[in-house]
Structure formats: structure tokens, C-alpha cells
């Protein structure tokens, strides 16, 4: 279906706006908009208000730059967490992923991206200076690099490592290895190679 | 990724609202919301305004019930179209599909659904009375049934047919047959059977 002829300009605008979202084509956009049009007026208002309010009112934590409803986020404001242990992540989703493991009791630092010259993202575009300042203050004992295991992630790690190596803190990175539940024959050679070089004591796994 | 722990209530609300849309799960909703969050404030406002305005301001054509920015839609208001020929469709998308063929110069009547007892939709929930009134006025020469070729579509056709058969108008339905470009071996038996019974003069196809 060619979507050039809309019976209404208002409909066309709404479809055009929806189709700007990633992974949403014009056909899907039309389906979603017609769905909204069938819903009750206050439901539709609730939908658009939720988006406007998010954009207008959401804050970024002054300490870790995670999304927050308050000036300091729940995690940074939580006294029972280990504030000497900082996990450096690319974005908010990574914080959510790690939080959902329920295995981490430290705090975070959200860079807001990774160094990627191809996309025009340099160190100055990321929250790197504020990380260095947090380390300078001296309360941080260990920084964990938890960035993507891509070339961009690796170069960001290396950039941060150069900046931090004289700070007298422990610098660690996520363990790389065979995924839990993966079969060896489907594990890529690089991961398998690293996981045999950095092999663990069996006792560590079963504990 | 389990999505129970949101760093922000505002974020959670926006994700919940997005996830109410058909075919959008929580993960996709989060991706879309984080995308919106990265966009400029006025772009986000344009997005939510487009939706609110559509819901608040859009009208339905008084004649054919198609979506419209005015009381009478562009098609019904177009004097160069054939107002004696009315195509009965289920919804707005069907109007757009037929308009996009650029083969039809008549007008429409949008029922707003089809009779479907399973979904609790009866004749009274559809724009059937207004269709009968349009026919009563006497300007209509032919009504084309262009509903889905499902059981619900067929029963709606039959219901309309019973109401209209004494009106002294021509009642037609879309031709059923092998799709243009389809291979015979993949055409279902019912369609193939009908298309051989209702075969066309070859001259009609090539004209």
C-alpha cells in the first residue's frame, strides 16, 4: 500500500511523527495511529502526556548521569550500596540490565555513549571528565569497565584506562567467556580462546 | 532483560503507555522512549501534539464517515467524482488502499467495522443506517461491497444485501480471482474454483 494520499492532514502528521521512530515504517505507524484513534480520549492524552512529561521533567543524576526523577538517583542516594565501586556503562539500559541481575551492589557511571569517530562521538561528548572528577575526590576504590565488547567499546576502555591508570584505583572489566547455557561448538573462537586463557578455578564457578 | 526496575517513574510511565500499542512489547517500548528522550524537546512536543491534536480535532465525514479535517471529506466534497457509485468498506485503511489504486472515481461509505458476533459487534454498532438513508435519498445508482472475504465480511455483505435488495440499485462486489502476479499452483482451491466459474472474456483483461 502506497501511503501518499491521506484523507486527513491531522492523520498524516501523526503518522509522519510515528514513522520517525526507529524501526517503525509508514504502514506500522498508520496501524498504531489508527489504534490510538479508536481509544478513549483520556487514554490518548495519557499517552502523549507521559511522553511530554518524560522529556520535560526527567533529570539526569548529578553523580552518575543515570536517568532520575530527582537530582540524585535512587542508586547514588542509597547509603547501603558500595560507593567505592563504580561500574562504567554506556547507557541507561545497561544500568537496568545490570540491576536486573541483582548481583551488583556498587554504583554506576553512565557515559552516555562510547567513543566512535565514525559517528562523530569523541571523548568530549561523553561524561568522562565527571568520571575523572569522581575518581579524584578519592572515595572510589575500583572502577569496572562494562562497555560493549566492540572495537568502539575497547577503544573507550583503553582511553579511560590511560586517564585512570595513575589514580591508584583498581581497574577491572567484565569477565569474558562462554555464555551460561551456550554450547561450545557455537561459541566464537575469540571468546573460546580468551576463556581458556583466563580459565577459572572450578571452585569459583560452583560457589 | 527483565524490565521491572526503572530508574525513573516518568520513564516507566512512558514505557508503559507505549507498550499498550499493538505489537509493541516492553523492550521495544523502552527503545522507542529512549530514542525520543535523545531527540530535541520541540521534536518530542511535535510528536505528542500530533497525536493529541489528531484525537481532539479529527472529524468523520458526515456523509461517508471517512476520517476528515472538515465536516465533509475531500472525496465526498469533490464534484468531479461519481456520487452515484458508493463503495462500502470496513475502515479508513481500505479507503486509502482503493484510492491508491487510482482506478476508482466513485465515493465511499465507511462502516467502521464488520458484523462480528464473536467480538460483540452487531449491525447497530456500524454505519449501516446511514448507508440505507443515503440509498433512500435516491441519488445512488450502484453500491459496491468491498469488505474482507472472510466469514464476517460475507455475513455483513449478506446483511446489507437483504436490506438493499428492494432499493432498485445495482449491488456489486469486488471481483475474486487469482492475484495479478500469482502462480496458479500457490492459489488456494476456493479462489481458483471461483475464478474459473466466473471466468472473464480475455478481451476484458487486455483492454
| 3 state SS for chain B | CCCCCCCCHHHHHHHHHHHCCCCCCHHHHHHHHHHHHHCCHHHHHHHHHHHHHHHHHCEECCCCCCEECCCCCCCCCCCCCEEEEEEEECCHHHHHHHHHHCCCCEEEEECCCCCEHHHCECHHHCCHHHHHHHHHHCCCCEEEECCCCCHHHHHHHHHHHHHHHHHCCEEEECCCCCCCCCCHHHCCHHHHHHHHHCCCCHHHHHC
Is some CB atom of chain A closer than 8 A to the CB atom of B146?
A: no
Does A158 have pLDDT greater than 70?
A: yes
The pLDDT of residue B4: 62
- Contact list in A for residue B81 (CB cut-off 8 A) is none
Rounded to whole angstroms, what are the CA distances from A14 to A1, A26, B54, B75, B77?
18, 11, 7, 21, 24
Which one of B20, B45, B100 has the shortest CB-CB distance to A52?
B45
Interchain proximity A31–B22, CB inside 8 Å: yes
Which one of A10, A35, A53 has the shortest CB-CB distance to B58?
A10
B195 in Cβ contact with B177 (< 8 Å): yes
Place of cell 436490506: B163
Please determine, looking at this structure, whether the domain spanning A9-57 carries the CATH number 1.10.8.420.
Answer: yes
The pLDDT of residue B1: 47
Q: At what angle do helices B151-164 and B128-137 cross, to 10 degrees?
A: 40
Contacts of B33 (CB under 8 A, 6+ apart): A51, A54, B11, B14, B15, B18
Q: How far apart are CA A6 and CA A15, in angstroms?
A: 10
**How many Å separate Cα A28 from the centre of its chain?**
26
pLDDT higher at A193 or A126? A126
Q: Which residue of B has its CA nearest to A49?
A: B48
A91 in Cβ contact with A64 (< 8 Å): no
B73 in Cβ contact with B29 (< 8 Å): no
Which one of B5, B20, B97 has the shortest CB-CB distance to A99?
B5
Q: What is the mean pLDDT of chain B?
A: 88
How far is A69 from chain B, CA to nearest CA, in Å? 5
Interchain proximity B8–A67, CB inside 8 Å: yes
pTM: 0.75
The pLDDT of residue A1: 47
CATH number for B81-174 (one of 3.30.70.260, 3.40.50.300, 3.40.50.720, 3.40.1360.10): it is 3.40.1360.10
B33 in Cβ contact with B43 (< 8 Å): no
Residue whose C-alpha is closest to residue A143's, from A169, A114, A163: A169
Does A109 have pLDDT greater than 50?
A: yes
Interchain proximity A17–B69, CB inside 8 Å: no
Which one of B10, B46, B91 has the shortest CB-CB distance to A53?
B10
Q: Which of B1, B3, B8 to mutate to test the interface with A (most CBs of A within 10 A)?
A: B8
For chains A and B, what is the number of CB pairs under 8 angstroms?
170
Is some CB atom of chain A closer than 8 A to the CB atom of B103?
A: no
Residue whose C-alpha is closest to residue A134's, from A58, A72, A62, A59: A62
Mean pLDDT for the stretch of residues A121-135: 94
Interchain proximity B51–A1, CB inside 8 Å: no
Interchain proximity B54–A20, CB inside 8 Å: no
Is some CB atom of chain B closer than 8 A to the CB atom of A172?
A: no
Is some CB atom of chain B closer than 8 A to the CB atom of A6?
A: yes
Where are chain B's structural domains? 9-57, 81-174
The pLDDT of residue A207: 60
Give me the residues paired with residue A64 across strands: none
Mean pLDDT for the stretch of residues A67-93: 93
Rounded to whole angstroms, what are the CA distances from B197 to B81, B145, B177, B192?
33, 20, 10, 9
Interchain proximity B44–A37, CB inside 8 Å: no
Joined together, the cell numbers standing for residue B141 give 445508482
Q: Which residue of B has its CA nearest to A99?
A: B5
- Contact list in B for residue A36 (CB cut-off 8 A) is 21, 51, 54-55
Joined together, the cell numbers standing for residue A85 give 565501586
Residue whose C-alpha is closest to residue A11's, from B66, B47, B67: B67
SS3 A119: helix
Is some CB atom of chain A closer than 8 A to the CB atom of B8?
A: yes
The pLDDT of residue B32: 94
Residue whose C-alpha is closest to residue B131's, from B97, B108, B154: B108
pLDDT higher at B202 or B97? B97
Interval B50-82: pLDDT, tens: 999 999 999 999 999 999 999 999 999 999 999
> Does residue A41 come out as left (phi exceeding 0), alpha (psi in the -120 to 50 range) or beta?
alpha
- Contact list in B for residue A60 (CB cut-off 8 A) is none
pLDDT higher at A189 or B171? B171
The fold for domain A82-174 equals: Dna Topoisomerase Vi A Subunit; Chain: A, domain 2 (3.40.1360)
Interval A47-66: pLDDT, tens: 999 999 999 999 999 999 99
Amino acid at each position: 500500500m502506497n501511503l501518499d494520499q491521506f484523507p486527513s492532514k491531522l492523520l498524516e502528521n501523526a503518522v509522519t511523527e510515528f514513522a520517525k521512530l526507529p524501526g517503525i515504517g509508514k504502514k506500522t505507524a498508520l496501524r498504531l495511529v489508527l489504534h490510538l484513534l479508536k481509544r478513549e480520549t483520556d487514554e490518548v492524552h495519557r499517552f502523549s502526556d507521559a511522553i511530554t512529561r518524560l522529556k520535560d521533567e526527567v533529570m539526569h543524576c548529578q553523580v552518575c548521569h543515570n536517568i532520575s526523577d530527582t537530582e540524585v538517583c535512587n542508586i547514588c542516594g542509597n547509603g547501603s550500596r558500595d560507593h567505592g565501586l563504580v561500574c562504567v556503562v554506556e547507557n541507561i539500559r545497561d544500568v537496568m540490565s545490570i540491576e536486573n541481575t541483582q548481583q551488583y551492589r556498587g554504583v554506576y557511571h553512565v557515559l552516555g555513549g562510547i567513543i566512535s569517530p565514525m559517528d562523530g562521538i569523541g571523548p568530549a561528548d561523553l561524561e568522562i571528565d565527571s568520571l575523572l572528577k569522581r575518581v579524584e575526590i578519592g572515595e572510589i576504590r575500583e572502577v569496572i569497565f562494562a562497555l560493549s565488547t566492540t572495537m568502539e567499546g575497547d577503544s573507550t576502555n583503553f582511553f579511560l584506562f590511560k586517564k585512570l591508570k595513575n589514580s591508584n584505583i583498581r581497574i577491572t572489566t567484565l569477565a569474558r567467556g562462554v555464555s551460561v547455557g551456550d554450547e561450545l561448538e557455537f561459541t566464537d573462537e575469540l571468546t573460546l580462546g580468551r576463556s581458556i586463557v583466563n580459565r577459572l578455578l572450578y571452585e569459583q564457578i560452583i560457589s
